Each structure stands twice: as C-alpha cells, then as structure tokens.
Chains A and B, each alone.
Chain A
Amino acid sequence: KQEVTQIPAALSVPEGENLVLNCSFTDSAIYNLQWFRQDPGKGLTSLLLIQSSQREQTSGRLNASLDKSSGRSTLYIAASQPGDSATYLCAVKSTSGTYKYIFGTGTRLKVLA
C-alpha cells in the first residue's frame, strides 16, 4: 500500500533563504507526483506536476525533483518570501488502484520577514 511522508511537518525560516521540502513514497510504481500549496482555510493549488519519466520540473522560483527509484521528491524554493508561507503537500498517483492520489500530511512553512 502506497504511503507518502513529508518531513519536516513544520519549518520556519528567515526571508531570503533557499529551502528544500521533502516528500518520500514507498511504492515507486507511480504515474506522477504533484506538489500543492494550501493557504489556511483554503483549497489546494497545484504548483508542479512531475511525470514518472521526468527528473524535475521548474516554475519560477520553484523546482521539484523526482527520484523514483529511491522514492523521493524534493521541492526547492529559491529566495523565500513571506508570501510563500503556506502548507505544501505532495501527492502521488500510483499505477495500481485507478483514480486515486495518495497525499502526504504536508509541511507547514513560515517565512519570517
């Protein structure tokens, strides 16, 4: 059964730092992995999607990498800003069990001004 873990659960950094959020999954048979952002009391916004055949995806100051064989993904945020403060979730779409995404519990990020 696929399990997704995100460490740390919470992170507080000063503005301007480059930071890395981690996501690990137990079953490497995946279609893709998606990173989401969730602001307090709101829904999820998709940030990046990495297909199983890809190694990384970039969008602005965000870069997500995928190492399927080791069951790991990282989200790199460059030059962090207070507006980046949110909870970041990763989700994997396994090749077994159609239609289901398995979510991690998220990393709550606070960027201090």
Chain B
Amino acid sequence: DVKVTQSSRYLVKRTGEKVFLECVQDMDHENMFWYRQDPGLGLRLIYFSYDVKMKEKGDIPEGYSVSREKKERFSLILESASTNQTSMYLCASSLITGVLETQYFGPGTRLLVL
C-alpha cells in the first residue's frame, strides 16, 4: 500500500513565523502535490512537483514556497505565516499521468496561525 505521511497532525504558530510542513511518500512517485482545504471552498492546489527540484505553481501559490530535494519528500514553506493561512493542509502523490493516474493523500496537517 502507498503511504503518504505528514510531519504534524496539528500545528499552532504565531503570525510572522516561518512554518515548514513536510510530506514523505514511500512508493517512488514522481508527482507530489500540496493542497489546502477550507470549508465551502474545497481543495485548492498550492504547488505541485513532477520531479526532483521541479515545481509548478498551482491555483493559490501566494505566500507559499516549496522544496523537493529528494524524490520522496515535498516540503511546503510559509515564509511569514498569516492568520488567513489557517487551514487544513493536505499532501498527495501520484505515480503516472494520464488516464490511470490516482492520487494518494496523507492524513493532513491542521494549521492554526494566531
């Protein structure tokens, strides 16, 4: 079974702090994704990566950056956390593109920025 793990389930940070969210997958997937999920807005794509050191902006990249130094690890960075970044953050990975691509999700990190 594919396993996607996220470093924290719950996180409380102060406004202005730099925040690191880590995601690790154990199935050698090329593609990795970071989403945030908010009530009424659904899942929105922040960034994705299709290979080591490669990244693409999603729909809402402002205020975020990412790092993919190793294939299994995809980090989301909040450079200066703000209260409007309080959300549920979900990481996902997938092996191939096209008709058979299936996304596998981690358990999520609920971030509260005070």
Q: Which A residues are closer than 8 A to B by beta carbons?
A: 31-32, 34, 36, 41-46, 49, 51-53, 89, 91, 93, 98-101, 103-106
Number of A-B residue pairs, CB cutoff 8 Å, is: 60
Residues of A within 8 Å of B48, CB to CB, are 99-100
What are 17 A-to-B residue pairs whose CB atoms are below 8 Å? Answer: A31-B101, A32-B101, A43-B4, A43-B105, A43-B106, A43-B108, A46-B102, A49-B102, A93-B101, A99-B31, A99-B48, A99-B97, A100-B45, A101-B103, A104-B42, A105-B40, A106-B42
Residues of B within 8 Å of A31, CB to CB, are 97-99, 101
Chain B residue nearest to A104 (CB atoms) is: B42
Least CB distance, A16 to chain B, in whole angstroms:
30
Tell me the bound Cα distance from A34 to B108 in angstroms: 19
Q: B1-46: which residues lie under 8 A (CB-CB) from chain A?
A: 4, 31, 33, 40-43, 45
User: Which 4 pairs, one residue from A and one from B, show the smallest C-beta to C-beta distance?
Assistant: A43-B105, A105-B42, A44-B105, A103-B43
